[in-house]
Each structure stands twice: as C-alpha cells, then as structure tokens.
Amino acid sequence: MRTDVVEDAARLIGAARGLYVRDPEATGVLDELERRLHEPLRLAIAGIVKAGKSTLLNAMLGEQIAPTDAGECTRVVTWYRYADTPSVTLHPHDGPPRRLPVRREEGKLVLDLGDLSSDDVDRIDVGWPSRALRSVILIDTPGIASLSRDVSARSAVFLAPEDAPSSADAIVYLLRHLHPSDLRFLEAFRDTAAGASRTVNAVAVLSRADEIGSGRIDSLLSAGKVARRYELDGGLASLALAVIPVAGLLAEGARTLRESEFAAFRDLAALERRDRERLLVSADRFGRPADFVKLGEQKRRDLLGRFGIYGVRLATSLIRTGATDSSDLAERMVQHSGLNDLSNFISVHFGPRAETLKVRGVLDGLDRLLRERPRDGSEPVSAGIERIRANAHGLRELSLISQARVAGLPLPAEDATAAVRIAGGDGIGAAARLGLPESADAGTVGTRVMSELDRWRAASQSPLTVRAAVEVCRIVIRSLEEIASEVGGARADETPADIMLSGGPVYGSGEGTDQEREQHETALPG
C-alpha cells in the first residue's frame, strides 16, 4: 500500500472532524484513529495462561522489562512503545493517567500499581529506548482461559471486542497444545480485526517448545514436527499464517546473558563427561548437592530459572563445540531457540504490510463511528472509506491470501499456490513473489514477471474462465504489474486487451461454464 493511501485515510479523518465539532467523545475517537494511523504497527502477544507471553516479549526486546510472575501487573494490558527515555504511565478506568517511578531490581523492571488493583486499571504504557520498538508497538495481554473470568475478559475485550474493531493490527498467539479455546479466540480475533476482508493476520507460536522433547538437545526438532502437524490442522490453518516453535525461556536468557552465567556454563562444560552427564540427567538432579562441581546449589538453581534444563544442556554443549565468549554463546543460543524464525516471519509478513494493516483498522473504526453517531453530510466520508477499501491493492492481496486459507481459491492447486505466492503469501519482495532466489538479478526478475503477466492476463480474458477465478486473476495481475513497474518492465502498463489470449490457464470450460459462473458469482472480498 502506497503512503498516499495513508494520506487519503488521514484526509477522511480530517473531514469527519468537521461533522463532530461539538461532540467531545467522537473527537476523542478521531484523535485515537489519527494516532493509530501514524504510529508503528500494533503487534499483540496473546495466549493461554502460563504460555510464556511476557517471557517471549522480553526475548523480542532483549531486556527483562515485562513482568513474568503472577502478580497484578500480568493481569493488565501493557503497551510497550519506543521512547528516548524510560517512562511508565498507568491509565485507570476512572481518573487521570498516573506516572509511575521507573524502578529496576536485579535488572528487571518493577511495575507497581500502588493502591490500585488490576480491576481498576485500563492499561499501562511503558516507553522504552529499545531499537526493537522503533518499528512496532508490542502489547502484552492477560492470559486467555484464565481461572479468573475477568482476566480472560480483558484480553477478549481488547483484542476481539464484539462491537468494535480490534485494538491490535496483528497478533502473535502462543499455544502449548491445540485446544478448542485457542481456536475460538483466534476465530474471534480474525472476524473482529479483519472485518469484512476476513484477513488472517495472526501467527501461532508453539511456546515452551523445549518442554515437548523433555529438555533434550533435539527438543526443538520434535517441536518442529508438532508445529507442522498443527499447521495442517483444518481449524488452525484458516486462523494463523504459520505455527513456529519457540523456546521462549532460552531466547530470553540468551538475549540477556550475563558474563557470570557464561562463566558458570564454561565451568560445567569443563567437567569430566561422566560427571557432566550425571549432573544434567534432569532438572531435579541438577539442583541437588554435588561435591564434584564447584558451582553451588543456588547458582545452579538460578541457571535453571533463567534457562531451563534445555538451556543449560544446550549452553554447555555449545561451549564444548566452539562458543568462545558470551556474545558468541548468546548468538548461538538464540539461533537454537526459534526466536530468529519468529522475528523473520514478522519482518516478512507483518512489517512490510504495516500501512495496509493500520489503514484497515482505522477505516473500520471510522466506519463504526459514522454508523453509531450518524450526521448529516457524512456521505462523502462513507464514500471515501469504500473507495479506499476498493482501490487499496494491499487489502485485496491480504483478502486473497486469507480466502485461500479459509475456503480455497477457484483455481487448480498449482495455480492457487502461485496466486498466493504472487500476492505476497511467502513474502512481498519481488523474488519471493515470483518464486526466484533472493539473489536473482533484475534481468531475471523482469523476464519472469513479464512471462507471468502474459499467462495471468490470458487466463483473465478467456471466455472459459469463471467469474470468481477472473477476480483472482485480476488481483494477481495487479501485483505483477507493481513488480514490473519496480524493475522497469517494458510492458507493465499494457492493458489485458493488448495480450494474446493463449498460453494461460483456463479455469472452467465446456457446457457447464455458465452454470459455474453463477455458482462463483460472489468474488473475493475487497
């Protein structure tokens, strides 16, 4: 989505202000929509209780900021934004915001609600000078399926309200096992956040992945097999773009590794093999008294608390196989944790679509305001909303990808896969869309894109192609035209009528074609 679409949305908000000059509540809604339009992508971290949400958030930030205990603060929606200097602001349901002291104990940020309970607090805003927060706002949410209905309700109301757009643009959903409650929540988020587009904008994380293999060195391989099985699950496949195994505790420990901890791991790696294997046979045994190791029991229990038995075993093994200092060890541990896979997924699928996702949320919010508080003269704003939705190609790409996962495309399997790829399902770079290596040069990209344009244009113009398939072809063609314009394709601006109607796929043929056209009358949303 081009920046001018963001500017169009901003102009609609400005036009709506003229309708609500004497309505402070509506003006407040417009202020919030304008902030949302210009701030970074809102990425929420959600999941069942004890799934490791705050631990993963700390790993993503590289600092122990989010509270991970079972205190009152973990029951409150907490926003983490970029700021030049640290700050903590509490927003109660009643009364003005309160600035809280920025206090750390043993490296951890301490959030104290003072005389308030979590029931009294709407949200907490943490401003932090983290590079990771320059391009995204991370939102930590209370656990789903909590024993406390009120705690669960806070996440549900925030992420999937019944009568309003979601406050998040995309979601990282942590699950330990696939439960019906996970599917219900993700379905509610999709329906609320995506609105009419039904876009899938969630990624699932198989959290605490090291526990799946009982903390063995190959635990992440076992977790990967489980994740792939979940990806193929009919219920989850339509609700999440991928399932990625992550050992959150290992990732957090690695991103915040201390020199003293590296020294402790080095001592463990130096033990005789027989002694080392006896010590690392289980978490229980690792914390017991042992006269053959100089690390005290408390120090070993601290290592368990920070890294888990999987992390201790892995760190010891990595040092024995060449990790020479704390930086090297931390980098290798992060690689084994699955955090890089998650970060890369977010960068490829959510980051480049930040404007698309934000504009969609803003338009939904503006549309709701107009419906709930109708005003004379609002028709141009409503028409503007529909125009952006109809013409914003990024939204149509997301809708196509979602449609492919939810109900399938009216194309043969091979062509449906190609359509999703070209629409950005595997990444929005030109090479990824065209199924080429990242190292492909401009000439190769240009040749491939023009070949694909010929093929899909021919299909769209064939009288034997059913209408729903034509709609898919048009979205794919627009994506290819944008690639062609980027690489200077000589024929990017040719109209479909200029292309020979041969050599492309045909979707629907023979005497049943007219009937199929009627059956596929409803095209992709957007």
Residue 103: beta bridge partners?
A: 110
Confidence category of residue 152, pLDDT binned at 50, 70, 90: low
Higher-confidence residue of 501 and 443: namely: 443
Buried b (16+ CB within 10 A) or exposed e, 433-461: bbebeeebeeeebbebbbebbbbbbbbbb
Q: Would you say residue 135 lies in a domain?
A: no
- 470 Cβ contact partners less than 8 Å away, ≥ 6 residues apart: 460
Owning domain of residue 270: 258-337
Where is the domain boundary, 294, 311, 337? Answer: 337
Q: Which residue among 290, 308, 337 closes a domain?
A: 337
pLDDT (tens digit, 9 = 90+) per residue, 28-41?
999 999 999 999 99
pLDDT in tens, 319-348: 999 999 999 999 999 999 999 999 999 988
Residue 457 belongs to some domain of the structure: yes
Specify the higher pLDDT residue, 145 or 414: 414
- Lowest-confidence region among 67-76, 231-240, 434-443: 67-76
Name the least confident of 189-203, 404-418, 457-471: 189-203
pLDDT of residue 206: 93
**pLDDT for 523 beyond 50:** no
Token pair for 382:
């409503």
Question: Residue 496 pLDDT > 60, yes or no?
Answer: no
Structure tokens at 514: 């007219």
The chain-wide mean pLDDT, for the chain, equals 85
Confidence band for 3, pLDDT divided at 50, 70 and 90? low
pLDDT in the model for residue 519: 39
Average pLDDT over residues 102-127: 87
Give the pLDDT band (50/70/90) at residue 193. low
427 and 331 within one domain: no
Structural domain tally of the chain? 2
pTM of the model: 0.81
DSSP assigned state of 128: E
pLDDT of residue 106: 75
Q: Rounded to whole angstroms, how far apart are CA atoms 233 and 231? A: 6
Nearest C-alpha neighbor of 250 from the set 265, 263, 238: 265
Residue 513 has pLDDT above 80, yes or no: no
Answer yes or no: is 239 within a domain: no
- Upper half-sphere CA count for residue 487 (Cβ side, 13 Å): 22
CB 463 within 8 A of CB 497: no
What percent of the chain is modeled with pLDDT above 90?
55
pLDDT at 506 over 60: no
Q: What is the pLDDT of residue 394?
A: 80
- Among 312, 337, 362, the domain-final residue is 337
**327 & 434 share domain:** no
Q: Is the pLDDT of residue 195 over 80?
A: no
Q: What number of residues does the chain have?
A: 526
CB-CB contact of 158 with 167 (8 Å) = yes
Identify any residues that bridge with 244 across adjacent strands, giving them in sequence order: 205
Q: Are residues 329 and 423 in the same domain?
A: no
Residue 45, both tokens: 């971290």
**Which residue has tokens 């490829």?**
348
Q: State the Cα–Cα distance between residues 499 and 471, nearest whole angstrom.
A: 18
330 with 425, same domain?
no
Half-sphere exposure of 151 (CA within 13 A, CB side): 21
Residues 515 and 435 in one domain: yes
The pLDDT tens digits for 375-418 are 999 999 999 999 988 877 887 887 788 788 777 899 999 999 99
pLDDT of residue 149: 57
For residues 210 and 250, is the Cβ–Cβ distance under 8 A? yes
- Predicted confidence at residue 2, as pLDDT, reads 52
Q: Which residue has the tokens 């009288």?
A: 463
Is the C-alpha dihedral spanning 25, 27, 31, 37 positive or negative? positive
Of 49-58, 160-169, 222-231, 469-478, give the lowest mean pLDDT range.
Answer: 160-169
Lowest-pLDDT choice from 125-139, 207-221, 405-419, 487-501: 487-501
CB neighbours of residue 130 within 10 Å? 19
Shared-domain flag, residues 326 and 418: no
**Domain for residue 268, yes or no?**
yes
Least confident of 64-73, 259-268, 432-441, 477-486: 64-73
Name the band, by pLDDT with cuts 50, 70 and 90, for residue 454.
very high
Domain assignment of residue 160, yes or no: no
Does residue 476 sit within a domain?
Answer: yes
- Is 439 among the domain residues? yes
In this prediction, residue 492 carries a pLDDT of: 41
Strands (E), 85-135: 87-92, 98-100, 103-105, 108-110, 121-128
pLDDT band for 145, please (50, 70, 90 cuts): low
Per residue in 278-310, pLDDT (tens digit) is 999 999 999 999 888 889 999 999 999 999 999
The sign of the CA dihedral 76, 355, 204, 207 is negative
pLDDT digits (tens, 9 = 90+) for 201-224: 889 999 999 988 778 888 899 999
Residue 104 lies in a domain: no
